[in-house]
Amino acid sequence: MKNLIFVLLILFLHSCATLLNNERTRLTVYTDRPTQIQFENYDITVNEQQRILVKRSPEPLIIEAIQDTTRKTFVARPRLSGTLWLNFFNYGTGLIVDFFSPKKYDYQKELYLNFATSDLKPEKFAPQRKGQLYLNFSIPYFNWFNMRPQNAGKKQSVGFFGYDLGADYNYTNNKFISLNHGVILDFPIPFPVPLDYFSSYETMNSKYYTISDNLRLKNIALGYGLSYSENNWMYHDMLWHDSEQDIFSGIDRSRKTQQRMVGLNFNIQWRLKKHFHLGLNYRPGIYQIYPSLGYGYEHNASIGLIWKFKVLK
């Protein structure tokens, strides 16, 4: 009997969802105008935004909504809570208890009640509106370069890190203008560590400015526009041995070139959370303005996570 109690105690202490989740979970309901909603045993009015507490359950959450004279039923289906996967760290033993617990369930955290569609499922995000201004910060995590440095031939490289600062202004409900400035690098390792090089090597980076017109299709935004890029290629070559004096010395044989390109900008953004987007940018340069004038082709591209914050409603 003591052994059984000990085993049950261990299982309960390791069941992540049962221990970490409350019986109820907090959701945020969005509407475009005052709306009366009914769920469980509650009857409240949502004035554009309202937080609610609902009971975790394997059953769908039914929300009856009345807006003006229109009534609509919304259905939010349950899903497994993210804390359930923390049982990975106890080799899955906590899943035995969590399997029988309603605390393992959760619902979509943000519910936009859209009366303009026939879909009964609440949308994930409240729509952005005309006149709103957003500031954004991005980390271009993975970058790709294609350059033609003067007297060096075609060069390509991939790497990590950089930064991007920008602003988005919604000039209609589903279109926005974006201005961005950024720098991308080809750091060879996907996490920041000090590096020592013991032979010659090449590096690339690019500083750019873009302006884009963007079309928003639910949680996806497609953009096109113009870009200006300063593409830098560097060759690092240190000769450390002086054969005449038979001593070690540092002779720098490095080279650096810069090409300034005017071209296009194409981007795709996928909204993951309220403030977080995944972005893909492609900036082809088609006309060189430095060190000489003429048509040519270079490009840089990046994939990264974008943080967006509204500063003007």
Range of the domain at 50: 2-112
Read off the CATH number of the domain in which 292 is found.
2.40.160.20
- Tell me the average pLDDT across 58-73: 93
Q: Is residue 51 domain-shared with residue 105, that is, in the same domain?
A: yes
Q: Is residue 76 domain-shared with residue 183, that is, in the same domain?
A: no
Cβ-count burial 34-61 (b if 16+ within 10 Å, e if not)? ebebebeeeeeebeeebebebebeeeeb
**3-class SS of residue 98:** helix
Q: Is residue 25 domain-shared with residue 71, that is, in the same domain?
A: yes
pLDDT tens column, 276-308 = 999 999 999 999 999 999 999 999 999 999 999
Question: Confidence band (pLDDT; 50, 70, 90) for 9?
Answer: very low
Q: Is residue 74 domain-shared with residue 169, that is, in the same domain?
A: no
Token representation of residue 217: 């299709």
Poorest-confidence range of 92-106, 133-147, 185-199, 295-309? 92-106
pLDDT tens column, 77-123 = 999 887 766 665 554 566 666 667 888 889 999 899 998 888 899 99
pLDDT tens column, 17-34 = 666 778 899 999 999 889
pLDDT tens column, 208-266 = 999 999 999 989 999 999 999 999 999 987 655 455 555 555 556 678 999 999 999 99
Q: Is residue 103 domain-shared with residue 190, that is, in the same domain?
A: no
Q: Is residue 49 domain-shared with residue 157, that is, in the same domain?
A: no
Residue at 69 is within a domain: yes
Measured between alpha carbons, how far is 188 from 159 in angstroms, rounded to an integer? 5
Counting DSSP H helices and E strands in the chain, the numbers are 3, 19
Q: Is residue 66 domain-shared with residue 161, that is, in the same domain?
A: no
Residue at 123 is within a domain: no
The pTM assigned to this predicted structure is 0.78
- Number of folded domains in the chain? 2
Residue at 121 is within a domain: no
Q: Is residue 256 domain-shared with residue 156, that is, in the same domain?
A: yes
Residue at 19 is within a domain: yes
Report yes or no: 113 and 75 within 8 Å, Cβ to Cβ: no
Residue at 125 is within a domain: no
Percent of the chain whose predicted confidence (pLDDT) is above 70: 83
Residue at 205 is within a domain: yes
Residue at 144 is within a domain: yes
Residue at 124 is within a domain: no
Q: Is residue 140 domain-shared with residue 221, that is, in the same domain?
A: yes
Residue 62, CA distances (Å) to 55, 57, 107, 254, 302 in order: 12, 12, 11, 67, 42
In the chain, the amino acid numbered 3 is N
Q: Is residue 175 domain-shared with residue 290, that is, in the same domain?
A: yes
Domain boundary among 81, 112, 143: 112
Nearest 5 degrees, angle CA 164-CA 170-CA 174?
110
Q: Is residue 57 domain-shared with residue 154, that is, in the same domain?
A: no
